[in-house]
Amino acid sequence: MGNQPSFESGQYNGYQQPEFVLADNQPEDGSYQVRHYKRAKWTSTKTTSEDHYGAGRSAFRSLFNYIRGENATSDKISMTVPVTIQKPEESKSDFVTSFYVPTDHQNSPPEPNNPNVFTQTREDVTIYARVFSGFAKEADYQREIKALRSDLQRHGVTEEMTDNSTYVCAGYDSPFRLLNRRNEVWVIGNSLEKVGCEQTTE
On whether the CB atoms of residues 19 and 83 are closer than 8 A, the answer is no
Question: Does residue 198 fall inside a structural domain?
Answer: no
Question: Does residue 74 fall inside a structural domain?
Answer: yes
Question: Does residue 82 fall inside a structural domain?
Answer: yes
Pairwise CA distance, residues 167 & 83, whole Å: 14
What was the pLDDT predicted at 161?
Answer: 93
What was the pLDDT predicted at 170?
Answer: 95
What was the pLDDT predicted at 192?
Answer: 42
Question: Does residue 119 fall inside a structural domain?
Answer: yes
Say which range, 2-11, 74-83, 181-190, 192-201, has the weakest mean pLDDT: 192-201
Name residues whose C-beta falls within 8 Å of residue 39's C-beta, 6 or more positions apart in sequence.
121, 122, 123, 124
pLDDT class of 4 with cuts at 50, 70, 90: low
What was the pLDDT predicted at 71?
Answer: 97
- pLDDT above 80: residue 51: no
Question: Does residue 61 fall inside a structural domain?
Answer: yes
Question: Does residue 130 fall inside a structural domain?
Answer: yes
pLDDT tens digit sequence for 84-131: 999 876 655 688 999 999 999 999 999 999 999 999 999 999 999 999
> Could you tell me the residue range of the domain that residue 115 belongs to?
14-188
Q: Which residue did the predictor score with more confidence, 2 or 40?
A: 40
- pLDDT above 90: residue 202: no
Mean pLDDT across the chain: 87
Question: Does residue 86 fall inside a structural domain?
Answer: yes
What was the pLDDT predicted at 132?
Answer: 97
CATH code at 155? 3.20.80.10
Query: In angstroms, what CA-CA distances link 38 with 54, 85, 128, 130, 168?
Result: 29, 19, 14, 19, 17
What predicted TM-score, i.e. pTM, was given to this entire model? 0.88
Pairwise CA distance, residues 12 & 35, whole Å: 15
What total number of domains does the chain contain? 1
What was the pLDDT predicted at 194?
Answer: 40
**HSE (side-chain half, CA atoms, 13 Å) at 74:** 0
pLDDT class of 3 with cuts at 50, 70, 90: low
Amino acid in position 192: L
pLDDT tens digit sequence for 25-41: 899 999 999 999 999 99
- Residue 17's CB: how many other CB atoms inside 10 A? 20
Question: Does residue 6 fall inside a structural domain?
Answer: no
3-class SS letters over the chain: CCCCCCEECCEECCEECCCEEECCCCCCCCCCEEEEECCEEEEEEEEEECCHHHHHHHHHHHHHHHHCCCECCCCCCCCECCEEEEEECCCCEEEEEEEECCHHHCCCCCCECCCCEEEEEECCEEEEEEEECCCCCHHHHHHHHHHHHHHHHHCCCCHHHECCCEEEEEECCCCCCCCCCCEEEEEEECCCCCCCCCECCC
The partner residues of 20 in beta bridges, in order of sequence, read 37
pLDDT tens digit sequence for 146-199: 999 999 999 999 989 999 888 999 999 988 888 899 999 999 998 444 434 344
- pLDDT above 70: residue 10: yes
Pairwise CA distance, residues 73 & 129, whole Å: 35
